[in-house]
Amino acid sequence: MAFATAKDGTQIYFKDWGSGRPVVFSHGWPLIADAWDPQLMLMADNGYRVVAHDRRGGGRSGQPWKGNDLNTYAEDLASVIEALDLRNIILVGHSTGGGEVTRYIGRHGTGRVAKAVLLGAIPPLMLKTDANPEGLPIEVFDEIRKGVLTDRSQFYKDLSAPFYGANREGTTVSQGTRDEFWLWSMTVSIKAAYDCVKAFSETDLTEDLKTFDIPTLIIHGDDDQIVPIAASAEKSSQLVKDVTFKVYSGAPHGLPMVPEFADQFNSDLLEFARG
């Protein structure tokens, strides 16, 4: 297996498939790189080099006690990029991974990055504040922390329903997809999962978004029950200069794995990469 070494010595596992222009994927909470496998195969089959890593604390990466915050996640992403000396990159981030991509650009700029894709992403800020009334109240995130601490196995099984929209009438989400979500989530240490709730809910990425100077594709479902569109993509699309904003009607948070939205996302991703 391939690993990059983070600044604190943590080993960050990554997949590196195919050849050509690099497309680097960052996954959402509480998942691992495998969540991107269909898109990794799609892009590699179409002449791209694809890279996806397991965030620290989960999957095949190390499980340190510290560093479960967006600053460190961004530096871990930088460690992978620099270890492979990737350039002219298309960065793709889903959910918390979108925050990771955004903080990476805020800290490192776009010297190695040519394009970015933010899918169901957390920026600019998920938490409800006086300045961000569209956000979710802190009690929502406290309940997530409680779920992780008390019975995370059942919590993840339950969470898979709103994540994929399996609680909506007419859903086509399979039990296998929901089981896969649980399986990946259970590889994440309880410490990493717990700490990441604060990272994805309370980190303000407004200023990072303002530094984007590359073509950026923002995609969000208007039935996202995890990252409400009003507090995220609608605001991010106003902060990024060169942006294409696509709203998928009726789509949930984990839309790339939902049959009725997967083909649309894959087509949009490939078209954006080629453009």
Which residues are designated catalytic? 95, 224, 253
C-alpha distances out from residue 105 to 116, 180, 214, 238, Å? 9, 31, 10, 17
Beta strands in 61-100 (DSSP E): 89-94
Q: Which among 110, 133, 124 is positioned nearest to 237, based on CA atoms?
A: 124
Task: Report d(CA 131, CA 134) in Å as an integer.
Answer: 9
- What value does the CA radius of gyration of the chain take, rounded to a whole number of Å? 17
Contact 232, 121 (CB under 8 A): yes
Burial class (CB in 10 A: 0-12, 13-18, 19+), 163: buried
